[in-house]
Amino acid sequence: MPRPERKTITFSIDGREVEAAEGTMLVDAAKLGDVEIPVFCYEPKLGAPVGACRMCLVEIEGIPKLQAGCATPVKDGMVVHTQTDKVREAQNSVVEFLLVNHPLDCPVCDKGGECPLQDISYGWGRGRSRMVEPKRHFEKPLALSPLIAIDRERCILCYRCVRFSQEVSEDYQLVLQERGAESFVATFDGHPYVAPFSGNIIELCPVGALTSQPYRFRARPWDIEQSGSVCNLCPGQCNVSYTVRDDRVLRVLGRDHAEVDDGWLCDRGRFAYQAMHVDERITSPMVRDGGVLREVTWERALEEASKALGRAKGGVGAIAGGSTTNEEGFLLQRMVRDALGSPHIDSRASGTLPVGLHAALSAPATQATVPDVEFAHAVLVLDTELVDDMPILDLRVRKGVRRNGLKLAVATSRPSSLDANAAAVARFAPGAGEAFVAALDAALAGGEVAALAAAAGAEEDAVRALADLLRGAGEDIVIVWGERLTHGERGAQAAQALLKVGSRLNPNPHPGAGLLEVPAGANSRGLREVGVLPGIGPGLTAADAGLDTPGIAAAAAAGDLPALYLLHTDPLRDLPDRATWEAALERASTVIAHGAFLTEGLRDYATVIFPTEPPAAKEGTLTHTDGRLQRMRQAIGHPGDSRAEWQVLAELSRRVGLDQQVLTAPMVFAQITAAVPFYAGITLDAIGGTGVRWPVTDAASAWPAGDGAPIALDAPAAAASPNGKLRVGTFRSVWAAPEVEASPALKFLAPKQRAELAPADAERLGIGHGERVLVGGVPAIAHLRTGTPEGSVFLEEGIEAAPAAAITDPLAEVTKA
């Protein structure tokens, strides 16, 4: 539904006239009059109030009984009192009751010093206790999960954690066991609370009942500093606050930003900070000497790299990973193009698109925003699994369905966690996204669907049902699409089909509707806009034609590219077609890499490795998928002998013949805004802590005109026929990342290769759940999953052992190992 329009009303609180939006809850409206009403259970992010703790009782003229301020919406002319004797007595009593069994743990409790219960006890308590009876005691702490400890005797039964589990993340794992005074928080089945967003309950808890296992007993509030930044581990780009002590990150908290993350974090973003300080991290430059990587001085590493690049001028292929900042990408593309004379640079995993399609897919007029997902009439989630690809957007979609009556349609090749929330679900064969989008376009236009649906491996009725839902939903429709849809040899055709569907659903572009991409990398959009694409320069301007990622791999494997430059990526882990990349890395005489860990490709093939900065030590900008420029700020010093990567790139560029004249990261950003017309006028001060969406600035008019039809249309490629084999699809879970494997707290979540099969296929092949299988020679554990389309098997990408990228054929035999 569209964003609600509220009129402004005036009410009185403690003798002050306050203006607020009608319907605002009293505890929030009171803050506009500089009046604080204490709360425990109330948290607007959790949805409708429950009025459980009664801490917010106030007196309202005309109502004989005290009212819960968290559950009372303000009305015009309302007169509220928060300082009367009646209110004070009620609030004193509530605090007293909460403390009857609450232990005197403040000297050792991790919440001490930043605990709402402490603050409210001092501000609204009696200052003395009339209770002399012994307090209750339970075993403590209990491990609610490997990441979260629970002290049951501290719990005040505010329901926040349970409500989050059931009403926000919808994993339904947390419940209140027993009844009355015996109630306690536990998991429904007694198993550990393991879920992608579990860490949020630590921040939600208003007392010390739920604490972080990794942070427990590590610091006190007066020992630490908080430093705001942006997480660059996935496209969500959530705003975070690093807790720093002695130049080490000890904790990551959410930094509320309603336009980006709604105040939530996934567990990877919350707990992977440990990877910044582990011993396995590369903190000094390394050079391969006598076939062995050895730590060397910066001077030698830069000298070796610059000489090798100088010898390979005109024959350098560069790949930038998705976590690369705008500054790093801009410096890299200038060095490769202008100093080394090579046009071969890319930041996409597979295949390139014409510049007109890039412009059309991200045009400001048809660009949806993250909040639009919440308030749209309908959302189509197309070829992406949000909980893995952009976790925080998964919560936003669920919120829209739950609160605003959003009609959700899901179209993926693999079963989605959002299927249960969807009003329409359609499945298509792995790699057949183009054919499916063409079938959907035909259904929306009232044309022939059967042949196109068959080519996509989809059911015609499912395609038509999805089209009917979207056609009748309303005018605000958002298509959330995964970048993988436009990968591969026919990515341009898939992009064109997507634009046609978008124009049918939103024939009159307007705010609140449009396309919202889920990129493959955290800063994929920013890298495109600063020119890290073959044939496309900064600002989506024309550049010399170059090879894309698969072309770079093939050319290097053939001996035509003597040098490879890898910035924040390991091709053997991150990119498809492992065999070609192995040959490319083996054949290249020089492989220069920026890495945090010695992953397989770097360990076996890199000739020079520059250590990457941990996210908390990085300074730079990222561009969110909806066009919001955000700023990463340095919170800690560079560990070991590492340096700022923009500085390394600038120095290396100078040594190979191009002095880019930058001494600080802000100077690089100034060059970016000068080179990218639609960034013009944006300053780091304007970006500040909340960012700037350039599509709503005056400079947005400089965005190049998108061309939705740069290529001739033909029949979409049909999905491969199984013929006794199974179609191979891939996915990458949120946990498939080196920082997860390196973080002591998260290691237990690091995935092992599994083969997701339909139960019918498993029965036909005689395979049971949990058995060892071979998928095209790749070892995996069979995982039977209801909803998986028959004739398909799915393997996980991003795993070093048993990599899915080893399979290049669209079909594979699945046998018992």
d(CA 306, CA 317): 15
d(CA 537, CA 528): 8
Distance from the first to the final alpha carbon of the chain: 51
Q: Show the tokens assigned to 591.
A: 């492989």
Q: Show the tokens assigned to 1.
A: 């539904």
pLDDT at 714 over 90: no
Q: Show the tokens assigned to 688.
A: 């500040």
Who wins on pLDDT, 126 or 332? Answer: 332
CB 559 within 8 A of CB 551: no
Question: Closest Cα to residue 433, out of 773, 755, 718?
Answer: 718
Phi-psi label, residue 776: left if phi above 0, alpha if psi -120 to 50, beta otherwise:
left
Query: Where along the chain do its domains lie?
Result: 8-98, 286-349+523-702, 355-518, 726-816
| Cβ atoms within 10 Å of 182's Cβ, excluding its own | 8
Give 344's pLDDT tier (boundaries 50, 70, 90).
very high
pLDDT reported for residue 713: 60
pLDDT at 254 over 90: yes
Pairing of strands 778-784, 754-757: parallel
Q: CATH number of the domain at 726-816, out of 1.20.120.330, 2.40.40.20, 3.40.50.1970, 3.40.50.720?
A: 2.40.40.20
Give 706's pLDDT tier (boundaries 50, 70, 90).
confident
The mean pLDDT value for 200-208 works out to 97
CB 266 within 8 A of CB 734: yes
DSSP notation for 346-369? E-SSS----HHHHHHHT-GGGB--
pLDDT at 624 over 80: yes
Residues 522-534 as b/e (b if ≥16 CB within 10 A, e otherwise) read bbbbbbbbbbbbb
d(CA 19, CA 12): 9
Residue 737 three-state SS = coil
Total number of residues shown for the chain = 817
d(CA 651, CA 229): 26
Which residues, in sequence order, are CB contacts of 466 under 8 Å at separation 6+?
Answer: 380, 409, 411, 424, 425, 426, 440, 443
Task: Find the helix or strand (DSSP H, E) in which 454 lies.
Answer: helix 450-456
| Cβ atoms within 10 Å of 15's Cβ, excluding its own | 10
Question: Closest Cα to residue 621, out of 538, 692, 701?
Answer: 692
The mean pLDDT of the chain is: 95
pLDDT reported for residue 127: 84
Residue whose pair of structure tokens reads 């306690």 in the numeric block: 184
Give 31's pLDDT tier (boundaries 50, 70, 90).
very high
- Which pTM does this prediction carry? 0.95
Q: Show the tokens assigned to 159.
A: 């329901």
Residue 161 three-state SS = helix
Task: Find the helix or strand (DSSP H, E) in which 169 lies.
Answer: none
Of the chain, the percentage scoring pLDDT greater than 90 comes to 91
DSSP notation for 209-235? SEEETTTTTS--GGG-EEEEEE--SST
The mean pLDDT value for 411-420 works out to 96
Q: Show the tokens assigned to 288.
A: 């391969």
Residue 162 three-state SS = helix
Q: Show the tokens assigned to 410.
A: 């899901």
Task: Find the helix or strand (DSSP H, E) in which 288 lies.
Answer: strand 286-289
Who wins on pLDDT, 130 or 520? Answer: 520
The two most distant CA atoms of the chain are separated, in Å, by: 87
pLDDT at 3 over 80: no
Q: Show the tokens assigned to 298.
A: 């910066």
CB 575 within 8 A of CB 569: yes
pLDDT tens, position by position, 430-452? 999 999 999 999 999 999 999 99
pLDDT at 710 over 70: no
pLDDT reported for residue 718: 84
Provide the β-strand partners of residue 245.
Answer: 248
Residue 308 three-state SS = helix
d(CA 183, CA 172): 17
pLDDT reported for residue 131: 82
Local structure of residue 133 (DSSP, 8 states): S
3-state SS, one letter per residue, for 659-704: CCCCCCHHHHHHHHHHHCHHHCCCCHHHHCCCCEEHHHCHHHHHCC
Phi-psi label, residue 311: left if phi above 0, alpha if psi -120 to 50, beta otherwise:
alpha
Q: CATH number of the domain at 8-98, out of 3.50.30.30, 3.40.1280.10, 3.40.640.10, 3.10.20.740?
A: 3.10.20.740
Asked whether the CA dihedral 653, 657, 658, 664 is positive or negative, the reply is positive
d(CA 457, CA 475): 29
Query: For residue 164, which phi and psi values (nearest 5 degrees)?
Result: -60, -45
Give 708's pLDDT tier (boundaries 50, 70, 90).
low
The mean pLDDT value for 306-318 works out to 97
- In the CATH scheme, what is the code of domain 355-518? 3.40.228.10
Query: For residue 647, which phi and psi values (nearest 5 degrees)?
Result: -70, -40
Q: CATH number of the domain at 286-349+523-702, out of 3.40.50.2000, 3.40.50.740, 3.50.7.10, 3.40.50.9100?
A: 3.40.50.740
pLDDT reported for residue 737: 94
pLDDT reported for residue 179: 86
| Cβ atoms within 10 Å of 579's Cβ, excluding its own | 13
Alpha helices in 588-638 (DSSP H): 600-605
The mean pLDDT value for 589-613 works out to 97
Provide the β-strand partners of residue 181.
Answer: none
| Cβ atoms within 10 Å of 773's Cβ, excluding its own | 24
Of the chain, the percentage scoring pLDDT greater than 70 comes to 99
Give 2's pLDDT tier (boundaries 50, 70, 90).
low
CB 423 within 8 A of CB 448: no
pLDDT at 1 over 70: no
Provide the β-strand partners of residue 566.
Answer: 319, 593
Residue 87 three-state SS = helix
The mean pLDDT value for 405-429 works out to 97
CB 154 within 8 A of CB 105: yes
Who wins on pLDDT, 721 or 381? Answer: 381
Local structure of residue 520 (DSSP, 8 states): S
pLDDT tens, position by position, 545-580? 999 999 999 999 999 999 999 999 999 999 999 999
Of the ranges 45-54, 120-129, 326-335, 713-722, which one carries the lowest mean pLDDT score?
713-722
Burial class (CB in 10 A: 0-12, 13-18, 19+), 7: exposed
pLDDT reported for residue 712: 55
Q: Show the tokens assigned to 380.
A: 């189509």
The mean pLDDT value for 179-208 works out to 93
Residue 203 three-state SS = helix
pLDDT reported for residue 717: 83
Question: Closest Cα to residue 366, out of 168, 561, 198, 501?
Answer: 501
Cα distances (angstroms) measured from residue 750 to each of 603, 620, 771, 796? 20, 29, 19, 12
Whether residue 371 has a cis bond before it, omega within 30° of 0: no
Question: Angle CA(486)–CA(487)–CA(492) in degrees, nearest 5?
Answer: 50
| Cβ atoms within 10 Å of 576's Cβ, excluding its own | 23
pLDDT reported for residue 306: 97
d(CA 562, CA 520): 27
Residue whose pair of structure tokens reads 């301020």 in the numeric block: 69
Residue whose pair of structure tokens reads 């694409």 in the numeric block: 533
d(CA 267, CA 687): 26
pLDDT at 775 over 90: yes
CA 815 to chain centre: 35
Q: Is the fold of 286-349+523-702 the same as that of 355-518?
A: no
- Tell me the residue type at 812: A
pLDDT reported for residue 707: 67
pLDDT tens, position by position, 79-123? 999 999 999 999 999 999 999 989 989 999 999 999 999 999 999
d(CA 347, CA 567): 10
